[in-house]
Structure 1
């Protein structure tokens, strides 16, 4: 069973305005896109189940392994990206042949929250350009199930 989307969205919105900081995950002080998803995990589910190893910042990274998706698959509920709705965590492939390297949380059918370099945590429209980049989608598990 998955976490209540309204609770996920409220937790994510609490991070709005948090400055961008590579590989950080501290509300109000700094986070990157993965740090935002990790912080919401801590608010919704509890303690993080694993340490996150250092990772590269390059959105255009090419490789055979979808490392971010593999990690999410271990702890979250994977769904078809076409079924992703509010409260879903989506992974974006920023380059056509690249691996998924950016994370956002859907807040509505046409909006999402993410941490973006120079802008920090923002909520913005899920434009067609963003929609077509969604490669994977996941739900936070319900901590009570």
Structure 2
């Protein structure tokens, strides 16, 4: 593994997400609600930002079709495989969790607003990984 790549695994995605979850007694003004596909997440902004670089590296492991400087975005349903053709996600929740983290650190954007998702194949949202910022 080099400093420019990281292995994308469901286990690591969920570890980061768990670290970002609200803790009892913490300042609620430091929490952010992140709307994903069928769920939403509430995360601590400071802990989320502490993981920003690792989240960005994991998102870069998605297929080129998701990258803003590649294919320009793709359906959530196509994110279970990494750019090397390996299946990293075991279930749909793994995908939603990765994209929640990406949205939370502004490394992922929506290609269409939620009200348009029903018009898209499978009713799935389309996301783009922002390679800058």
Normalised by the size of structure 2, how large is the TM-score? Answer: 0.32
Q: Relative contact order: is structure 1 or structure 2 higher (C-alpha 8 Å, sep ≥ 6)?
A: 1
| Larger helix fraction of residues | 2
| Larger strand fraction of residues | 1
Normalised by the size of structure 1, how large is the TM-score? Answer: 0.30
